[in-house]
Structure 1
Amino acid sequence: MRSLCSKHNLKICPVTFDQPLYQKAAEIVAASRDLDKVVVRLGGFHLLMSYRGSIEKIMKGSGLEDLWKRVYAKGSVVHMLTGHAFSRAVRAHILTLLAFINVLIKSDMESQPDKEHLIRLYQDTVDTGEGAAEIDKDERLQEFQQLLTHHLDQAATQSRTGKLWVQYIHQVLLMLHFIRAERTGNWKLHLHCVQEMIPHFHAAGHLPYAKTARQYLQQMNSIKQVMASEEYKLFTAKGYFTIR
């Protein structure tokens, strides 16, 4: 490992594992003086798979499965709810999220968002590749976000069922934020999402990931102490922690 770091002129060598191997690797690195240049990371894909499984376990019996069966084949839904068919399940969550948001917005005829402007904003973003930071400054988009937040808060206070589905919406949004962090190399958003996932792991009984995610978060928050300033800048500010 030392020779590999020297070959690429690195003082620290990050290595990524899924959850079972991460725990073993972290123990080995902590106990070895020869591996002081190694930083062990928890794989984002398997973390996301476990989180997605947490969502589906928490929502079991809520009607989500029946809802999906109206769009997908019954056999496909079984695979989607048991951790398989990852891409299809993510898309199903997104479609469900959009359907609920559409219902919430349409329920208030007095405060309708400027759909044409939002569509143009989306199209301009696709065409120009404009970053999320610039998009967030758009006043119409901010108004829409405030309107959506108002509707979600209102729905959560009306009934237990409403509170459950609002929680589901926030869970899916967290999943999408994590995907965004991985794809754009946003280190702060990545750590924030991992922190927000931990309570859901506990609620769903995914205790190994709950424990490992907390350990991973602690290590990553202190990674600045073991990394050279230039490497740390590349790792966090430039998004080198993920492969894009």
Structure 2
Amino acid sequence: MGWIEVTSPAPPLPDPQTTAAFPRVKLKALDKAKILRGTEVKIIPFTNRKQIGTNAIMFLPLAELSSSLAHDQPLLTPGDTLWAAGWVIKANDPEFPHSNWNGWMKRIHANDAKQSTQIEFLPVIEGDPNDLNTIFTTLKECIRRAGVAIVTFDLPIWLKAVNIIKQANLPVIPRLGGFHLLKSYLGSMGNIMEDSGLLDVIQLIYPGSTTAKHIMDGGCFDKAIRVHLLIDAAIYQHIMKLAFTEEERGDMKTFMEKVADGKMGARHSDPVVPVFEQRFEETFKRLAKGGRTPALWVEYHHMVDVIKLDHHMVDVLYFQVRAEDADVLVMLVHHSSDSHHPLFLTTSNGSYDVRKIKESLSETQKSYLLFCHAFTGCDTVSAIAGHGKTTLFARFCEGDAAEYIDIFLDTEATKETVIQAGTAIFKYIYHGRDTALGEIRYNMFSRKAAAGVIKPETLPPTEGAAAQHSLRAYLQTRDWILLQSMSLNPSDYGWTIGVHGYEPVPTLDPTAPEELLQFTSCNCHGDCSNRRCSCKKNGVTCISACGVCNGITCRNCSHDVVESEEDIDNDC
């Protein structure tokens, strides 16, 4: 099987020295065989031969398919409106020069910048192109080269490829070749319009029943496209001849002449263009409600628009993002739209269909996704030990902490409300909503101490640490929502500037109470009465933790001090 790789737009050209022509070298048959053997693609057997792939294809109503398109972008260009307007002008002014759709488009786009495309011929796969093993091998090689691949086949092989892709769940978008796709569409149009009188109209352009019937069946490819575009032009002339004033037609004629002369690109507009677009749309909508016959011909007009769209279509069928970071996947799922092109995240472990992931989530899960990923640990926020993301995500989506999570999704929330909400969420995580966070921490420590196993990282954070964690999580969530980096001053949201840049602030609370920080003990064998005693030196009394005196038998304990005072009093 022969195959090529098409890249559009083409990558930058390498150094001209590396693209210089190579001298032709005559090789012997044995040398050619060695070269070909080095590029040989080994056939991978396809073992699953059940013909179930095409059964999994879903056929959707046209209305449902069209609803998935981005309605904020017109399907046809202003150039199409100008082409239709030209026929309206010609209906009133037969001397006005105007061409069919293909000629008009070539004329107004003659000076457009053309996008370059790179075509690379790949090693021939030694196998029957119709064999399932060969097709399977080709698909696997495409995946190896491109991750998520768009592969175009002719109709017979396309059907088999769809079966294989569905059965093996391969990350491949199978595309029917443009010729077969449009030919099938033209045949469908002929079938729909079979008893409408379209055949008789076609014979006015191409006399004879044989050619006309071939056109109706999708044959005579070039003639079929020309016929349908000419009939669409006649429809515009017939129904729109008197729809515009002489002044409107004059303004459009002047603008069209500028465009045709290259003085104005076809993508630029003029105030008269929206007038024609709106009038066209209103007229066809009104006719569609005027009975079965007008509605059928309006539908035919829209089918011809699809032919134009096929010629306009930019060959961008999907977008692929390459990254190894879960943060990227979470943002793609949150910000992607169903009206956009298919979107895939490709990692070293495989590819992920962002649209399918988003469709599998409930509305609540979609809303809480960014917050949950930030709060439970990401590149800028520490994880919560002992609590997995999946478990916490499920708990958050139950709705019991919704009022607090919504504060993190509010880009105008204050620091005080964020800290309060974050503390409440930590209490919810550790099942103590009506208990202070410090008390929850103490109770859990006591239980673990009694059991003899204490892992400090599994304890709830202190209120100070929870506050800083919450501020960092809020800042990261806000950045993701707004698609901005450091949308607020990080120094106010759990970060400080250190030697190596921004560093997280663990807490603003002291490490321990002041009395505990001043804790000192000694191991003196004397009476602890001089500065050789560490307790005496630091100005504190001996305590029970002192090794010898235990804060009882020395002269630096509180008991001795009291006795000394009593003795003094007695002496006095």
TM-score range, shorter chain: 0.5 to 0.7
Label 1:13 to 1:159 Cα distance change in 2 as closer, same or farther (>3 A). closer
Please report how far the alpha carbon of residue 164 of structure 1 lies from its aligned counterpart in structure 2 after TM superposition: 1.2
Name the TM-score, length of structure 2 as normaliser: 0.29
Residue number in structure 2 paired with 1:48: 182
Query: Structure 2 CA distance, aligned partners of 1:186 and 1:128?
Result: 29
Pick from 172, 182, 185 the counterpart of residue 315 of structure 2.
185
Query: Structure 1 CA distance, aligned partners of 2:307 and 2:165?
Result: 30
- 1:22 corresponds to which letter in structure 2? W
Residue number in structure 2 paired with 1:168: 300
Please report how far the alpha carbon of residue 26 of structure 1 lies from its aligned counterpart in structure 2 after TM superposition: 2.4
Residue number in structure 2 paired with 1:224: 344
Residue number in structure 2 paired with 1:21: 157
Query: Structure 2 CA distance, aligned partners of 1:221 and 1:32?
Result: 23
Larger RCO, structures 1/2 (Cα 8 Å, 6+ apart): 1
**Structure 1 SS opposite 2:289:** helix
Query: Structure 2 CA distance, aligned partners of 1:32 and 1:139?
Result: 53
1:26-47 alpha-carbon deviations (Å, 9 max, x no partner): 22234458xx565432323212
Query: Structure 2 CA distance, aligned partners of 1:146 and 1:221?
Result: 27
Residue number in structure 2 paired with 1:198: none
1:75-119 alpha-carbon deviations (Å, 9 max, x no partner): 321221122111111110000001110111113364753441352
Tell me if the contact between 2:149 and 2:172 (Cα under 8 Å) persists in the aligned partners: yes
**Structure 2 SS opposite 1:73:** coil
Residue number in structure 2 paired with 1:157: 289
Query: Structure 2 CA distance, aligned partners of 1:177 and 1:12?
Result: 25
1:174-229 alpha-carbon deviations (Å, 9 max, x no partner): 22112210xx43548xxxxxxxxxxxxxxxxxxxxxxxxxxxxxxx965524589x
Label 1:90 to 1:37 Cα distance change in 2 as closer, same or farther (>3 A). same
Residue number in structure 1 paired with 2:360: none
Residue number in structure 2 paired with 1:142: 274
Residue number in structure 2 paired with 1:239: none
Deviates more, 1:38-47 or 1:100-109: 38-47
- 2:160 corresponds to which letter in structure 1? K
Number of matched pairs = 187
User: Residues 94-133 of structure 1 correspond to what in structure 2 (within 5 A)?
Assistant: 94-108=229-243, 110=245, 113=249, 114-124=251-261, 127=262, 130=265
Query: Structure 1 CA distance, aligned partners of 2:141 and 2:290?
Result: 62
Label 1:4 to 1:56 Cα distance change in 2 as closer, same or farther (>3 A). closer
Label 1:143 to 1:121 Cα distance change in 2 as closer, same or farther (>3 A). farther
**Structure 2 SS opposite 1:116:** helix
Residue number in structure 2 paired with 1:67: 201
Label 1:3 to 1:78 Cα distance change in 2 as closer, same or farther (>3 A). closer
Query: Structure 1 CA distance, aligned partners of 2:240 and 2:184?
Result: 31
Tell me if the contact between 1:14 and 1:39 (Cα under 8 Å) persists in the aligned partners: yes
**Structure 1 SS opposite 2:147:** coil
**Based on CA coordinates, which of the two structures has the bigger radius of gyration?**
2
Q: Which runs of 5+ in 1 are unaligned?
A: 189-219, 229-244
**Structure 1 SS opposite 2:205:** coil
Of all paired residues, the percent bearing the same amino acid is 28
Query: Structure 2 CA distance, aligned partners of 1:118 and 1:161?
Result: 35
Query: Structure 2 CA distance, aligned partners of 1:129 and 1:175?
Result: 25
Label 1:79 to 1:227 Cα distance change in 2 as closer, same or farther (>3 A). farther
Tell me if the contact between 2:317 and 2:341 (Cα under 8 Å) persists in the aligned partners: no
**Structure 1 SS opposite 2:344:** helix
- 2:195 corresponds to which letter in structure 1? G
Query: Structure 2 CA distance, aligned partners of 1:26 and 1:13?
Result: 13
Query: Structure 1 CA distance, aligned partners of 2:153 and 2:299?
Result: 30
- 1:154 corresponds to which letter in structure 2? R
Pick from 214, 218, 225 the counterpart of residue 90 of structure 1.
225
**Structure 1 SS opposite 2:307:** helix
Query: Structure 2 CA distance, aligned partners of 1:52 and 1:29?
Result: 27
Tell me if the contact between 1:12 and 1:227 (Cα under 8 Å) persists in the aligned partners: no
More helix by share: 1
- 2:276 corresponds to which letter in structure 1? F
**Structure 1 SS opposite 2:146:** coil
Query: Structure 2 CA distance, aligned partners of 1:227 and 1:23?
Result: 29
Residue number in structure 2 paired with 1:204: none
Q: Which runs of 5+ in 2 are unaligned?
A: 1-137, 319-339, 349-572
- Cα RMSD over matched residues? 3.3
